[in-house]
Amino acid sequence: MARYPSNLTLSPPKSQPMASLRGSAATVRLLHSASRVRLSLSSASSSLSISSSSSYSPSSLKCLQFSPLAPYIFKDQRSSMSTVAAASDPAQLKSAREDIKELLKSNSCHPILVRLGWHDAGTYNKNIEEWPRRGGANGSLRFDIELKHAANAGLVNALKLIQPIKDKYSGVTYADLFQLASATAIEEAGGPKIPMKYGRVDVSAPEECPEEGRLPAAGPPKPVDHLREVFYRMGLNDKEIVALSGAHTLGRSRPERSGWGKPETKYTKNGPGAPGGQSWTAEWLKFDNSYFKDIKQRKDDDLLVLPTDAALFEDPSFKVYAEKYAEDQEAFFKDYAEAHAKLSNLGAKFDPQEGIVLDGVAGEKSMAAKYSSGKRELSEVMKKKIRAEYKAIGGSPDKPLQSNYFLNIMITIAVLAFLASLLGNYVCF
């Protein structure tokens, strides 16, 4: 029986057209399949390297489980795996979510985490097809060049809060982590369950960040026109604009960051978190429909109303939804959950293409799947499998099966005979 070294080294991919396995006795060269993974196991005695001009994905390593090398490659838990432009690991996503919940409990940072996810996704331009130039939920907000955009003032603090979780769970992309944090913050603040999916691919360089100016402004000259211009560009409609605006039920505006709001109010002077700023609602860490009620009534000068907030009750189309949400929190929660899920997927490139659903809640996968911006079709492997199954029963996906007339006649005769037998028994009885 052939023996393999107990320690192996898989070096990072380089630009070579083939993969190679090197041991102490021989070299085996293998044609690579498209993948996106780098493995790293250290050894002083021998090496196993996988290199290619393409990137790697963990799914393509399934072939190794049938190799005699598999026990040696994966037996040492000290080995490390890092993914490049690949799907997030579901187990790590779930663990990261629990850590986010603890972060929320200890820091009361719900509003800024919601904003982090929103601003990463909100740069999407539906008129640009190319990824990542189209913007959207791709993790680009982690780069300084985008963090320094005026609309992102203060979000460096959100990144600092979330970075230790990213360091702990290297199998989770920034794009997924930002959206996971945003949805979890809504849910932990008492909001609706967001039908999320994951598997977003990260951009890899600052050069891939969108240009400044794609996010909404707080006080534009024409608030209604501005809201429609920005959100229509993302592919959102009036109902979704109003529903998403309702997330201002969380958080505060700080004048030193946005130029809007009071330095402090009776609701914010004692925190929680860093004191100060002006909130839209009295309980600004609770997700409910208070935002719509308070804007409609405008009875408290300590509560913030931006020009874009007031526009929701001034524009006839917006007002229909704003009035509805002020009266019906359940309707608001339903529409908000759908709009948030849609926003979180804008512009994203998913791997796997259908995304990853963490909880398996009925209806959740189908709800989130329709918000993917990527085109989905059957893989070549699945197409071949279906074709083989058709051919096994004498057919083909390209043409319908021929009817078996003899079998149909026999079945008809049998059914008629059975009915005649029943009728005869009934008459005799």
How far apart CA 76 and CA 36 sit, in angstroms, is 21
How far apart CA 182 and CA 206 sit, in angstroms, is 22
CB 302 within 8 A of CB 278: yes
Q: b or e along 282-320 (b: 16 or more beta carbons within 10 Å of the residue's beta carbon)?
A: eebbebbbbbbbbbbeeeeeebbbbbbbebbbebeebbe
Catalytic residue among 32, 110, 119, 226: 119
CB 261 within 8 A of CB 253: yes
Q: Which of 240, 233, 193 is nearest to 339 (CA)?
A: 240
User: Coil, strand, or helix at residue 337?
Assistant: helix
CB 123 within 8 A of CB 136: yes
Asked whether the bond before 272 is cis by omega within 30 degrees of 0, the reply is yes
DSSP H helices in 10-143: 70-74, 90-107, 110-121
CB 128 within 8 A of CB 234: no
Amino acid at position 3, single letter: R
CB 37 within 8 A of CB 61: yes
Q: Which residue has the tokens 């393409």?
A: 54
CB 285 within 8 A of CB 189: yes
How far apart CA 365 and CA 199 sit, in angstroms, is 13
Q: How many CB atoms lie within 10 A of CB 45?
A: 11
How far apart CA 173 and CA 83 sit, in angstroms, is 9
Q: Is 226 annotated as catalytic?
A: no
Cross-strand bridge partners of residue 399: 396
Q: What values do phi and psi take at 360, rounded to 5?
A: 65, 25
How far apart CA 198 and CA 169 sit, in angstroms, is 15
Q: Which of 320, 98, 125 is nearest to 215 (CA)?
A: 125
- In 14-85, which ranges are E strands? 19-22, 27-30, 37-40, 80-83
Residues with a catalytic annotation lie at 119
